[in-house]
Amino acid sequence: MCHWRRVRNHYKRCGHYIDLPDVVIQCDDRNCKFSTTHPRNCVPPRCTETCWQYRQFPQQYNPVIDDYCPSCISRGAEPTGNSSKYS
Ligand SMILES: [Zn+2]
Ligand SMILES: [Zn+2]
Ligand SMILES: [Zn+2]
């Protein structure tokens, strides 16, 4: 079923955390109300019995980035270039 993904980057060089906007991870489960493969004719009350009606609790990701955060870089910290693979 679909779920939210919440990403908080941890910038190792300066120790700051940056929260990224939440994103919805789509599934292709027919039994999920939010899925693109969910049948259009599957409607309540049947849908509420057979299908997921809610998105799953957010998955938390806390990638550690060996670099300074963007605000430190804009204040003059020297970027290492290691953050590019996460963007
Ligand atoms: Zn889903
Ligand atoms: Zn349904
Ligand atoms: Zn910083």
d(CA 64, CA 6): 14
Look at residue 27 and tell me whether its pLDDT is greater than 70. Answer: yes
Look at residue 20 and tell me whether its pLDDT is greater than 60. Answer: yes
17 CA → ligand 3 middle, Å: 8
The tens digit of pLDDT for each residue in 68-81 reads: 999 999 999 888 77
- pLDDT value at residue 79: 83
62 CA → ligand 1 middle, Å: 23
Q: In this structure, which ligand is nearest to the CA of 9? A: 3
Give me 40's structure tokens: 């259009």
29 CA → ligand 1 middle, Å: 6
| Res. 57 pLDDT band, cuts 50 70 90 | confident
d(CA 73, CA 79): 6
d(CA 17, CA 8): 6
d(CA 32, CA 37): 8
